[in-house]
Structure 1
Amino acid sequence: MSEFVTEKIESGVQIIYLDRVDKKNAITLDMYQALTNALHNAEKNAEVKVTLVYGLGGDFSSGNDINEFVQIAQTPEKMEAIMAFLQALTAYKKPLIAGVEGRAVGVGATMLLHCDLVLASRNARLQFPFVQLGLVPEAASSHLLPQLVGHQKAFEILVLGEFVDAEMAYEIGLVNHLCEEGEAFKVALFYADKVAALPVEAVALSKDLLKHRGQDDVQMALMREGRIFKDRLKSKEAHKAFTTFLSRNK
């Protein structure tokens, strides 16, 4: 695992913690590798019946580490670690649950589209700020989000990149259930335990039936987004947006 990604397995539930609290769980390349390994290992581990992802410290994830993205723009082959995680995420066969507090930004938001259950506190806020950074949507969000909310709403969310509060996320189907602030992990674990108690093969087959029809389209969207995203990292617009973002943070 990684210093900032930890896991434990209890009663059939694999719990993956994002634990880079001082950076609001911004995801580095090492963290992507750790997440990929955790999902691959869980698929081979019969003890794991369901996976729960949770961000410690009051935020789910602030998305990609922008400092690393500046480096990736110079060495695009480093994108492979990100793509490996997204492929593992989209192809994951066991139930996947997220408990969301605070901000879920960028990949922290798009990964929720691949979860089977999302439990969020009322203070949760989702944001897809790719266009603002001179980039394009990723994780097959350009395919999955319009299917969920329609083209116009997906355009608003993905292109304008404004925050989607918890109530709106619930209303448009991005979140299954809302809970009070600080309760997301407890509620997510409650649902994880419920799923883990069900017949394992029946759950896995049901998930496959639900996702099978669109799986090829998801993989095609993932690859197409990845190619364009990689090119955009080298664009003048992205370079300007990254520079502005980093100078503002300083």
Structure 2
Amino acid sequence: MSDFVTESIESGIQVLCFDRVEKKNAITLDMYQALTDALRRAEANPEIKVTLLHGAGGDFSSGNDINEFVQIAQTPEKMEAIMAFLQVLTSYKKPLIAGVEGRAVGVGATMLLHCDLVLASREARLQFPFVQLGLVPEAASSHVLPQLVGHQKAFEILILGEVVDATQAHELGLVNHLCEETEAYKVAFRFAEKVAALPVEAVALSKDLLKYRGQDDVQMALMREGRIFKDRLRSKEAHQAFSTFLSRNK
């Protein structure tokens, strides 16, 4: 595992925690690899019935590590680690639950679209700032989000990239239930226990029935986005946006 992704297994529940608190749980290539390996192990382990994602330190994840994106722009083949994670995430066969506190930005927000249950604190904030960075949406969000909220609202969320607060996310159907601040993990774990107590095969088959009709479209969107995203990383717009972002953070 990565130093910044922790894994524990309790009562049939695999808990994966983003633990890079000083960077608001920004995800590195090593973290992507660790998450991919963990999800693959879980699918092969009959003792694991549910996977729960959450972030340490009051944030879910601030998205991709921008410093690494600057490096990836020079060596696009490094995108393979990201794409491998997204492929496993979007086709994951076991129930996937997220407990969200604070910021869920970029891939920290798009991965929630592929969770089966999302529990969020009332202070949680989702944001999809791809266009502001000169990029395009990823994780098949260009396909999944319009299916959930309609074209016009998806355009607003993905193109303007403004913050979607927890109440809005709940009203739009991006979040199942809201809870008080610091309670998201505890509430998410309770839901995970409920799911883990159900007949395993019936749960898996029911998830497959819910998702199978759109699965090919999701994978096609994921691949198309990936090709365009890789090209955008080398674009002048992205380079300027990254430079502005990094200089502002300094």
TM-score > 0.5, shorter chain as reference? yes
CA distance in 2, matches of 1:30, 1:134: 24
Tell whether 2:177 aligns with 1:177: yes
Instruction: Quote how far apart the aligned CAs of 1:44 are.
Output: 0.5
Q: Distance in 2 between matches of 1:18 and 1:89?
A: 15
Deviations 1:140-199 (A, max 9, x none): 000000000000000000000000000000000000000000000000000000000000
| Residue 124 of structure 1: how far off its partner (Å) | 0.1
Residue 49 of structure 2 corresponds to: 49
* Correspondences of 1:132-211 after superposition (within 5 Å): 132-211=132-211
In the alignment, structure 1 segments of 5+ residues that lack a partner are none
Q: Return the letter of the residue paired with 2:47.
A: E
TM-score, normalization by structure 1: 1.00
What displacement does 1:230 show?
0.2
Q: Partner letter of residue 163 of structure 2?
A: F
Superposed displacement of residue 138, structure 1? 0.1
In 2, Cα distance between equivalents of 1:145 and 1:39: 23
Q: Distance in 2 between matches of 1:30 and 1:104?
A: 19
CA shift, 1:223, in A, is: 0.2
Aligned to 1:39: 39
Look up the SS of the partner of 1:188 in the other structure.
Answer: helix
2:14 paired residue number = 14
1:94-109 pair list within 5 angstroms? 94-109=94-109
Kindly state the Cα deviation for residue 106 of structure 1 after the two structures are TM-superposed.
0.1
- Secondary structure, in 3 states, of the residue corresponding to 1:9? strand
Q: Which amino acid aligns with 1:5?
A: V
Mapped to 2, the partners of 1:116 and 1:193 lie a distance apart of 14
User: In the TM superposition, what whole-angstrom CA distance separates every residue of 1:102-123 from its partner, at most 9, and x where no partner exists?
Assistant: 0000000000000000000000
State the secondary structure of the residue aligned to 1:16: strand
Does 1:242 pair with 2:228? no
Tell me what 1:61 maps to.
61
Aligned to 2:90: 90
> Using the alignment, how far apart are the partners of 2:121 and 2:34 within structure 1?
26
Runs (4+) of structure 1 exceeding 6 A deviation are none
Q: How many positions carry a matched residue from both structures?
A: 250
| Matches of 1:138 and 1:5, distance apart in 2 | 21
> What is the CA–CA distance in structure 1 between the aligned matches of 2:69 and 2:207, rounded to whole Å?
34
Structure 2 residues without counterparts, runs of 5 or longer = none
1:224 alignment counterpart = 224
Q: CA deviation at 1:98?
A: 0.2
Q: How far apart are 1:9 and its partner, in Å?
A: 0.4
Q: Does 1:122 align with 2:122?
A: yes
User: 3-state DSSP class of the match of 1:61?
Assistant: coil
Instruction: Give the aligned residue type for 2:169.
Output: A
- Tell me which residue corresponds to 2:131: 131
Aligned to 2:76: 76
Letter in 1 for 2:211: K
Alpha-carbon deviation of 1:5? 0.3
Amino acid at match of 1:54: H
* CA displacement at 1:88 relative to structure 2: 0.4
- Local SS of the residue matching 1:162: coil
**How far 1:222 moved relative to its partner?**
0.1
Name the CA distance, whole Å, in 2 between partners of 1:18 and 1:195: 22
Looking at structure 2, the residues matched to 25 and 186 of structure 1 have their Cα atoms a distance apart, in angstroms, of: 19
The equivalent residue for 1:24 is 24
Q: String of CA shifts for 1:82-111, please: whole Å, max 9, x gaps.
A: 000000000100000000000000000000
Q: Distance in 1 between matches of 2:21 and 2:184?
A: 17
Per the TM alignment, residue 23 of structure 1 is displaced from its structure 2 partner at its CA by: 0.3
Letter in 2 for 1:30: D
